[in-house]
Amino acid sequence: MRVALFLTCVNDTLYPDTGRAVVKLLTRLGVDVDFPMAQTCCGQAHYNTGYRHQAEPMARHFSDVFGGYEAIVTPSGSCGAMVRELYPRMGERARAEGRGDTLAATLAPVVPKTYELTEFLVDVLGVTDVGAYYPHTVTYHPTCHGLRSLGLGDRPRRLLQSVKGLELKELPGADECCGFGGTFAVKNSDVSAAMGADKVRNAESTGADVLCAADNSCLMHIGGTMTRLRTDMRPVHIAEILASTEEETHA
């Protein structure tokens, strides 16, 4: 199976380790991974801040770059939700504005083929034990768009529970937003910081070493809060946990 990795602009620029982990993990599972170099950004930040018309060419570009692949895999519930939930809506809005079906038709091919990583592993590849080894105590934060827009459900937890050596701790108030929310974190910094601090305190109460999530943007906000609050926990993307192996750890 040949899939395209849609890494997201945030991961590409700031979190390349997550991308390397996804490549390693999928390759280990027998998937042929491509990284289309022309990829940039899905347009979510523009769309969600109110610049829908600027997000449209970005969405078209996304479709041009990824349209030819069998499946598109992304390690971000949020960017995955942008393609799956909001691209069709952009098409509908263009139609409502009297611009016809062109945008909808352009975006349609990528919508059903885009999968968030854990969804791809469980639903498409049909695996929950990916052969990972990670000897740490971990608590899982289900990020909002993965949880509510994509409905990832217990897929990430099932994957984590199958990791050897990993002890999973339930996060109190897990389904509450960490406070990132893209430009929300800047525009409503006080409220965002308060939400982040509460998330970190809840995570600390589990006694885990690692807080794991399937979105680096949320982890950037949570991890940045952890640093300022001087906690010993680390934020880690789920792909990096699932990619870890016993051989490496003991090497």
Partner 1 sequence: MSGGTFVGMPSFPKAAHEAVHNQTLRGNLRHATHTIRAKRANAVAEVSDWAELREAGKQIKDHTLRHLDRYLVQLEESVTAAGGTVHWAADADEANRIVTYLVKATGESEVVKVKSMATQEIGLNEALEAEGINAYETDLAELIVQLGKDRPSHILVPAIHRNRGEIRDIFAREMSEWGRPAPEGLTDTPAELAEAARVHLREKFLRAKVGVSGANFMVAETGTLVVVESEGNGRMCLTLPETLISVVGIEKIVPTWQDLEVFLQTLPRSSTAERMNPYTSTWTGTTDEDGPQTFHLVLIDNGRTDTLADEVGRQALRCIRCSACLNVCPVYERAGGHAYGSVYPGPIGAILSPQLRGTQSEIDASLPYASSLCGACYDVCPVAIDIPEVLVHLRERVVEGGVVTRDGAKVVLKPAKGHAAERAAMRAARWAFGHPGALRTGQRFASRTRRFHPRTLPGPGKAWSETRALPAVPAEPFRDWWQRTHGGKDASK
CB-nearer residue toward partner 1: 166 or 236: 236
CB-nearer residue toward partner 1: 18 or 139: 18
CB-nearer residue toward partner 1: 35 or 165: 35
SS3 category, 34: strand
CB 117 within 8 A of CB 143: no
CB-nearer residue toward partner 1: 126 or 232: 232
Residue 83 carries which DSSP code? I
Smallest separation, CB 164 to partner 1 (Å): 27
Taken in order 162, 168, 171, 177, the sign of the CA dihedral is negative
Smallest separation, CB 186 to partner 1 (Å): 5
Single out the residue of 220, 227, 63 nearest to residue 143, CA to CA. Answer: 220
CB-nearer residue toward partner 1: 130 or 144: 144
Smallest separation, CB 201 to partner 1 (Å): 12
Smallest separation, CB 188 to partner 1 (Å): 5
Smallest separation, CB 214 to partner 1 (Å): 15
Start-end of H helices in the chain: 9-14, 16-28, 44-49, 52-66, 77-81, 87-96, 102-107, 117-119, 144, 155-161, 184-187, 189-204, 216-228, 238-243, 246-250
